[in-house]
Amino acid sequence: MKEKVILAYSGGLDTTALIPWLKETFDYEVICCCIDCGQGAELDGLDERAKLSGASKLYIENIVDEFCDDYIMPCVQAGAVYEHKYLLGTSMARPGIAKRLVDIARKENASAICHGATGKGNDQIRFELGIKALAPDIKIIAPWRMTDVWTMQSREDEIDFCKQHGIDLPFDASHSYSRDRNLWHISHEGLELEDPANEPNYDNLLVLGVTPEKAPDEGEYITMTFEAGVPKTLNGKAMKVSEILTELNTLGGKHGIGIIDIVENRVVGMKSRGVYETPGGTILMEAHDQLEELILDRDTMETKKKLGSQFAQVVYEGKWFTPLREAIQAFVESTQKYVTGEVKFKLYKGNIIKAGTTSPYSLYNESLASFTTGDLYDHHDASGFITLFGLPLKVRAMKMAEVEKNNNK
């Protein structure tokens, strides 16, 4: 009986060419596994394509709700943003994919898992760290790093290889953007984006929405409610997180929300330039932040910001299944107990504009915050506070004056 390999299958040219290559190179039985994180129409026709290419079986595993509840929401609650801009759309999907690949490998008693990530990117790290953490006994095959046996270097090579094996597929050799899509975002790399000096060709590039310039001239108000840090309703309608995010993607795309052009530092050491569309995710992150700023005290907020940045790096580097991620997430979850309330904002030409926030746990006290004197605050108390708070500065200034005086003698 042949050994089995589980192929992380997207249906694109790269992973389609891998099916006959794995059979020919290692004499594996190839079982394809496509993990649905919200790719939409990209999944159409995959079963026929995989079988046509020589796979014995195709799994299409829908993990959209798991992706939203177990991966997206911890990142939203942590305020996890990599290098101040990147909302981790690809990064936080990879551990869920790795976990399901391992599940299928166990079910099929497979000896190996194969992925099509390149040797220059982050995804090879994310997939393989996830697999190693969950199944250290399973072999990992990364063809793009196996240059002694993987000799194809271009789309033309892959198309020719497929034709040689009797596989006539609807792919051509024309170059296009390299994209990754899920319910949270879509990323774009390649073509003019490879040179940071070039402005993105947004007319050809955007998939989920429009630029702010092409957004409607009229703004649109949105209301959301949260319970313990989790979104529960959108415009008065109760929905699960995946449904809220789907609707926010439509609204955000319509109003030009969440388009960023960044040069990021990859884990492998190089810089890469990409454009990311995250319309719904950008709105969800902003709504959560808008509510949280009413509720968390200063020290907790400051600590959470620091740990949120570290959480983003942990996720970006593929270290989801680690004690550190679990520990940071445990802290974040403890801060979410009272993040409950309603947020309202207006979407207008790429902007998310606050329009009011309320919470039964708000620490904002109008009596304290107003310029008029309230019962809870005596202005005279500030004098003693400033004296003590500024004491180190005063002592140092006195010492420096004393030193200068002695030096001038």
Structure-block tokens of residue 53:
């290419």
* Torsion sign across C-alpha atoms 283, 287, 292, 293: positive
What are the phi and psi torsion angles at 189 (to 5°)? Answer: -135, 165
User: Concatenated DSSP letters for 384-404?
Assistant: HHHHHHTHHHHHHHHHHHHHH
Active-site residue identified among 49, 123, 126, 187: 123
Q: 228-234: long-range contacts (C-beta < 8 A, 24 or more apart)? A: 228/336, 228/337, 228/338, 228/339, 228/340, 229/73, 229/76, 229/77, 229/288, 229/292, 229/333, 229/335, 229/336, 229/339, 230/73, 230/336, 231/284, 231/287, 231/288
Q: How far is CA 18 from CA 28, 117, 150, in A?
A: 11, 12, 10
What are the phi and psi torsion angles at 208 (to 5°)? Answer: -90, -15
Q: What is the distance between the alpha carbons of residues 362 and 340, in angstroms, rounded to a whole number?
A: 9
Structure-block tokens of residue 217:
């001239």
Nearest partner of 219 among 60, 111, 59, 350, judged by Cα: 350
383 has catalytic annotation: no
Q: What is the distance between the alpha carbons of residues 35 and 53, in angstroms, rounded to a whole number?
A: 19
Active-site residue identified among 49, 94, 181, 325: 94
Max Cα-Cα span within the chain: 96
Q: What is the distance between the alpha carbons of residues 232 and 244, in angstroms, rounded to a whole number?
A: 8
The number of C-alpha atoms within 13 Å of 141 and in the hemisphere containing its C-beta is 23
Number of residues that this document lists for the chain: 409
Pairing of the two strands 186-189 and 271-277: antiparallel
Q: What is the distance between the alpha carbons of residues 312 and 87, in angstroms, rounded to a whole number?
A: 8
Active-site residue identified among 14, 49, 100, 126: 14
309 has catalytic annotation: no
123 has catalytic annotation: yes
Nearest partner of 315 among 69, 139, 103, 125, judged by Cα: 125
362 has catalytic annotation: no
Residues annotated as catalytic are 14, 94, 123, 178
